[in-house]
Amino acid sequence: MAKTPGGKPPSTSVPGRQQTKGGARPADRALKTRLRTAEGRTIGSQKWLERQLNDPYVKEAKARGLRSRAAFKLEQMDDKFHLLKPGSRVVDLGAAPGGWTQVSLARAGATAKVVAIDLLPVDPIPGAILIQGDFQEAAAEQAVLAALDGQADLVLSDMAPNTTGHNATDHLRIMALAELALDFAGRVLAPGGGFVTKVLAGGSEKEFLATLKRDFAVVRHAKPPASRKDSAELYVVATGFRGGKA
């Protein structure tokens, strides 16, 4: 994303929305798009489609050529925590469809190295290095380090498992992914690096937080404005990597 002459990234506010202390919100109550119920469409899918059609972040993502509305979450966290620095070496875990990779490239600039890895294929993103594979495997990890030509400055993970609707089960599943991402970050991050991962409301597990606080200078939770209010997702933002496990 291009910077303003003052060196600051442009505002991530969405057109037609006004900024408030609590984040962007609709400037007025525009008429919502409603769909006729199609034969064979469930009530749940009907509501999801209506929400997508009326979501200003979805509309703005399409207008800007971003592959997901989730891209705004990373932009907003970067605005607050200044994660993506010029020339950064960034790893995007579970990158598909590539929204966070696009933001990383735009904000870290032409000299950055951004590696996106996912089990699923990701359509080419100019400037990004795409790896299809399992980041838990040693060969994939070595491929990431080779692509970066060194250690990473930032490891990102927006990974989430399929939800079951059972809060305790969903919490355990997403924490398992977060722990795997943290383990990977501990092996590839350069001293002073950062780590961002998704968790669920209710906070992170004590052991997980203890590991983060041991290995990073600053650990915070964040819920960016682009994260839907009815979503239980939160993000852990850890900066100042101390250089390895004890």
Per-residue pLDDT tens digits for 106-120: 999 999 999 999 999
Residue 158 assigned as binding residue: yes
Cα–Cα distance, 169 to 87 (Å, whole number): 39
Its pTM stands at 0.78
Would you state the pLDDT for residue 14? 41
Residue 118 assigned as binding residue: yes
- The one catalytic residue in 198, 206, 223, 245 is 198
Q: Which has the higher per-residue pLDDT, 59 or 11?
A: 59
Alpha-carbon distance values, 38 to 47, 51, 53, 55 (Å): 12, 16, 16, 21
SS3 of 73-141: HHHHHHHHHCCCCCCCEEEEECCCCCHHHHHHHHHHCCCCEEEEEECCCCCCCCCEEEEECCCCCHHHH
Annotation says 198 is catalytic: yes
How far from the centroid of its chain's Cα atoms is residue 203's Cα?
A: 17
Among the listed ranges 12-26, 64-78, 126-140, 227-241, which one has the minimum average pLDDT value? 12-26
Q: Are 128 and 113 in contact (CB under 8 A)?
A: no
Q: Are 218 and 230 in contact (CB under 8 A)?
A: no
Residue 183 assigned as binding residue: no
Cα–Cα distance, 169 to 9 (Å, whole number): 39
Q: Which two structure tokens, joined as six digits, stand for 127?
A: 């400037």
Query: What are the residues whose beta carbons fall under 8 Å from the beta carbon of 212, sequence distance 6 or more?
Result: 182, 195, 204, 219, 236, 238
Per-residue pLDDT tens digits for 150-192: 999 999 999 988 778 787 888 889 999 999 999 999 999 999 9
How far from the centroid of its chain's Cα atoms is residue 46's Cα?
A: 26
